[in-house]
Amino acid sequence: MVHPLQIHGQHFDLHPSGVLFWRERQLLFVSDLHLGKVTHFRKYGAAVPLQAIPGNFSLLDECIGHFNPKGLYFLGDLFHSHMNSEWQLFEDWVRGTGLTMVLVSGNHDVISPLKYESLGIAVVGEVVMDGFLFTHHPQERDGYFAVSGHIHPAYRLRGTGRQSLRLPCFFKSARQLILPAFGAFTGMHALTRKKGDEVYAIADQQVIKI
């Protein structure tokens, strides 16, 4: 179940996968897929299930089918590291999707931009549209509302005693929105909510405002 969100007169949908859909522009934003990480971990002996590799693409297809966007923007860390066998899966997926795609480069994006451009994916440092700033690293810039990723935000719910639960979340402050990591096995970083902040946690295939 998606959660609607209005920012500066524009309408967005928060999806439980972690993607953000901009209704007026018909654009889909996703951050921190870290494709190739499963193969990278398995190479060094980590017992990560192979099923996690196609899972990212299946979930992306589900989101695209749900929103039917005109374009897809990756807000950094599309691939975890250097090229490995998952690159061919990515190539096949891109060619079968037919969407306009843009990569806002992140700190893990070490693969040559020429490889992405050969697939028709533009690689840029940031995107500015209609008063919104889209980057990988969270930042605040005068005159813009910023949307980013990088942190893999989570929120810690505390129960009685020492019980606690960390949930991935969309984390919104007065001037920016941080998207959760989309990819599997990416880890999370719990953020502390300050006055005025809004937390939209993901649980049981729902986005819930805390």
Strands 189-190 and 176-178 come out as unpaired
CATH class of 3-209: alpha beta
CA–CA separation, 171 vs 204, rounded Å?
Answer: 18
Per-residue pLDDT, 40: 47
**pLDDT tens, residue by residue, 13-57:** 999 999 999 999 999 999 999 887 555 444 545 545 555 566 788
Cα angle for residues 35, 69, 83 (degrees, 5° grid)? 15
Which residues 6+ apart lie within 8 Å of 54 measured at CB?
89
Q: Domain residue spans in the chain?
A: 3-209
Candidates 91, 71, 68, 67; CA nearest to 79 is 91
Please count the CA atoms within 13 angstroms of the CA of 141 that sit on its side-chain side. Answer: 16
Of 71-85, 129-143, 189-203, the least confident: 71-85
For residue 29, give both structure tokens. 């934003």
Per-residue pLDDT, 133: 98
Average pLDDT, the chain: 88
Query: Which class for 188: exposed (0-12), middle (13-18), buried (19 or more C-beta within 10 A)?
Result: middle
Q: How confident is the model at residue 146 (pLDDT cuts 50, 70, 90)?
A: very high
